[in-house]
Amino acid sequence: MGPPQPDYLNGCAMIETSLIPLDLLNVLHSIEAEFGRVRQEVWGARTLDLDLLLYDDLIIDLPTLQVPHPRMLYRAFVLVPLSEIAPNTIEPKSRQSITTLCNQLEHSDINLFV
């Protein structure tokens, strides 16, 4: 996706929070900024990129936040690690499991780092 960039490490985490989705997104952006992330190039290489992929089974469509993440279904580098921690989670728009969505994409070039 986007311009050529070096190899990178991508991961997913499941958290429990009392924050509403927009507040959680603001916290994620604050963490990125603390680690020196500067938003310059769309889809370019980044020092840190924290995305809000899913939030329970909510569907959110706001100018500043879309949940489920609008491009996660097309990104093996997202679905492979997500399927490791949440294989049976249902993506609310497609109503398919994360494992099913992952298996629909070519992902032979994705290497798990454990």
Q: Is the pLDDT of residue 80 over 90?
A: yes
What distance in Å separates the CA atoms of residue 2 and residue 13, rounded to the nearest whole number?
Answer: 24
Q: Is residue 7 part of a domain?
A: no
What local confidence, expressed as pLDDT, does residue 14 receive? Answer: 96
Q: Is residue 76 part of a domain?
A: yes
Beta strand 96-97 with 66-67 is: unpaired
Q: Is residue 10 part of a domain?
A: no
The CATH number of the domain holding residue 47 is: 3.30.70.560
pTM for this prediction: 0.85
Q: Is residue 61 part of a domain?
A: yes
Which residues constitute the domain of residue 55? 21-103
Q: Is residue 59 part of a domain?
A: yes
Show which residues are catalytic.
Answer: 37, 46, 49, 51
What distance in Å separates the CA atoms of residue 44 and residue 42, rounded to the nearest whole number?
Answer: 5
Whole-number percent of the chain with pLDDT over 70:
87
Number of domains in the chain: 1
What local confidence, expressed as pLDDT, does residue 10 receive? Answer: 82
What distance in Å separates the CA atoms of residue 23 and residue 30, rounded to the nearest whole number?
Answer: 10
Q: Is the pLDDT of residue 21 over 80?
A: yes
Confidence of residue 54 (pLDDT cuts 50, 70, 90): very high
Question: Chain-wide mean pLDDT for the chain?
Answer: 89
Higher pLDDT pick, 20 / 2: 20
Mean pLDDT of 69-91: 95
Q: Is residue 113 part of a domain?
A: no
